[in-house]
Structure 1
Amino acid sequence: MASNDILQRFTFDHSHVRGELVGLKQTLAEVYQRQSYPEPVNNLLGELLVAAALLSATVKIEGILSLQVQSDGPVSLLLAETRHDGQLRGIARMNELSDATEASLLGEKGQLIITIEPDQGRRYQGIVELEDGNIAKSLEGYFRQSEQLDTHLWISCENGVAAGLFLQELPALGEVQEAMDVDEDAWNRLNQLAQTLRTDELLHLDNDEILHRLFHEEKVRLYDGQPLRFNCSCSKERLSVALTQIGYAECQDIVDEQKKIRADCQFCGQHYSFTQDDVNGLFPLESAKNGKGLH
């Protein structure tokens, strides 16, 4: 397959074309074992995780990049998150699948939401229509509309293996282009060559084999890869922030009725609980006024 659980950049000499290759196997296994989705839903989630990894290479920030698909189909939500250091996680929400085919899982209408959340700085969000229920096509549309960059993606997931190829033409740089003796026909030629890649090759050949198969007559450079892995960033502290947004009254009602607040992470299934003492710590003033605080 495209090399296991790694993201690798490649470039071409004398051109403004860049590319990325990604393959996921162990990462997918760890995502899947924490959920119980049908195989067609797993495949869609695998595609979105690959897409998130590919896009993360184009964003030079420390923080989170997330892709969210919302649709009117049986799979109403897909969410994939990746951090700059290669952490990945994802979830899906679905209605009754019944007789739905894989092609109809995302329905007829939907949108793809790209969110970038730097650890330091402002949050960015872009939204595009979900094109024919196809994640790759929708992302190509995003780059055309928002970035004005010609971009093509090939993404596939089946039998617990997912892989993707990303190819993009960067803008020319005027005088720099002349000095570099840039091949102006490179984008069209390289894109046509990439179109010959078969799904089985994308899924089962190593990255260097894929590049040789497609571009053996080109001067291509494959760079060291970034390891990818499943990791969930959930914590009791982060859930505490969510509880403060719910408010004291609702939190206290739950503790009064159930003795504790129980919360499970949707991504990894980790169980958390919050006792009366926890609520007192989150809402010290309100708890004291209602006689719930520590004495």
Structure 2
Amino acid sequence: MSIGSKLAWDDTVLPFQLDRSDMRGRVARLDGVLSGVLKQHDYPAPVEALVAEMALLTALIGQTVKLRWKLSLQVQTNGPVRMIATDYFAPTKEGEPARIRAYASFDRDRVTDAQPFSQLGNGYFAILIDQGPGTTPYQGITPVAGTSLSDCAAAYFAQSEQLPTTFALSYGRSMEPGVGEHWRAGGIMLQHMPKASPFAQGGGSGEQGLLLAEDLMHGNDGENWTRVNSHIGTVEEFELIGPTISPDQLLVRLFHEEIPRVYDAQPVRFGCTCSEAKVRQTLSIYSAKDIEKMTTDDGRVTADCQFCGAHYDLDPKTVGFEAEDGTD
């Protein structure tokens, strides 16, 4: 495969459907998105890996939802990594890329050299969907469980949405000829079509009594699910991440017997929505006395974006609900 064709699949999400088994899915490849997310911070290696996995999950899940505005994933725990937050902003116009941003909050002195998922403690995994002004945001929460963030996501869909879901992900630092070391990630998300998912009653067979995909599948659906997952179980890391095997070629390798049908790929980019106007709006609820407490010794009010590292430096007289007219 040529370099040009390789780059065409970087930072994309390819939707597909398996007609024989009544399932839908996504194949994602991230490259520049991860570079944009991770270069903003000096994360320890295990934290970098968790953020990379969360960004990949966000790309896969965000493209699945018929979004008009924003989908967010959050993990909050009592472990060394206190929080991971990601946002997926849907394209504003047909043909435009979606945007992803992500960051983690952690206690550096508590992070160890152990596996990334072990840096999380007890806590919850949440998916939030905000369709914009005039709508009520939706939030679903499940406990942190399993051995990976993808396990948490699969448990969320089984428990909160009653949708059998599975993931195969790969991510890490990559070395390519003529290209410096950089992060790459690739993955598959597979989900049974909603109309075929029965409503399960009672507890499940998973950790903490959570429902698993297998708890929702019976009869022919269960056989299809087992068969398709056996195909996913054969996928290799280089097939997921690339760059020499395109997503459509991967689908043929794995699911040629399932009659895969692909749709238009969705480009994704690293992108943040912070702005000086939004900082000013956030500060607009404070009085001049409150603003004075936020003012630095240099006589400025400053704010930093956790997602993109943008720094805002404002005149305290121009912020708050008692602000003077005009800006800096």
Contact 1:106–1:133 (8 Å) recurs in 2: no
Matched, 1:187 2:225: yes
Consecutive unaligned residues of structure 1, counting only runs of 5 or more, are 175-182
Counterpart residue number, 2:202: none
Taking the aligned partners of 1:107 and 1:227, their CA distance within structure 2 comes to 31
Identity %: 32
Taking the aligned partners of 2:43 and 2:172, their CA distance within structure 1 comes to 14
**1:165 aligned residue (188, 195, 203):** 188
Give the SS at the match of 2:24: strand
Higher-Rg structure is 1
Shift of 1:137: 0.8
Indicate how the Cα distance of structure 1 residues 263 and 108 shifts in structure 2: closer, same or farther if over 3 A, else same: closer
Instruction: Please give the TM-score of this superposition, normalised by the length of structure 2.
Output: 0.78
**Deviation string, structure 1 residues 209-229 (Cα, Å, up to 9, x no partner):** 211221122311121101010
Give the SS at the match of 1:263: strand
Counterpart residue number, 2:163: 149
Q: How do 1:141-290 and structure 2 match up within 5 A?
A: 141-159=155-173, 160-172=183-195, 184=221, 185-204=223-242, 205-255=245-295, 257-279=297-319, 282-284=320-322
Counterpart residue number, 1:6: 12
Matched, 1:25 2:34: no
Give the SS at the match of 1:228: strand
Counterpart residue number, 2:138: 124
**Deviation string, structure 1 residues 244-269 (Cα, Å, up to 9, x no partner):** 24544221333485411011111111
Shift of 1:22: 0.6
The residue identity in structure 1 corresponding to 2:278 is R
Give the SS at the match of 1:267: coil
Taking the aligned partners of 2:296 and 2:47, their CA distance within structure 1 comes to 39
Taking the aligned partners of 2:282 and 2:254, their CA distance within structure 1 comes to 48
Indicate how the Cα distance of structure 1 residues 59 and 29 shifts in structure 2: closer, same or farther if over 3 A, else same: same
**1:109 aligned residue (105, 122, 138):** 122
Indicate how the Cα distance of structure 1 residues 258 and 129 shifts in structure 2: closer, same or farther if over 3 A, else same: same
Consecutive unaligned residues of structure 2, counting only runs of 5 or more, are 1-5, 92-97, 174-182, 198-219
Counterpart residue number, 2:76: 70
Taking the aligned partners of 2:291 and 2:308, their CA distance within structure 1 comes to 23
Taking the aligned partners of 1:145 and 1:57, their CA distance within structure 2 comes to 20
Q: How many residues align?
A: 278
| Higher mean C-alpha deviation, range 69-78 or range 17-26 | 69-78
Taking the aligned partners of 1:277 and 1:229, their CA distance within structure 2 comes to 36
Taking the aligned partners of 2:152 and 2:111, their CA distance within structure 1 comes to 26
Counterpart residue number, 2:178: none
Taking the aligned partners of 1:207 and 1:293, their CA distance within structure 2 comes to 54
Give the SS at the match of 1:215: helix
Instruction: Please give the TM-score of this superposition, normalised by the length of structure 1.
Output: 0.86
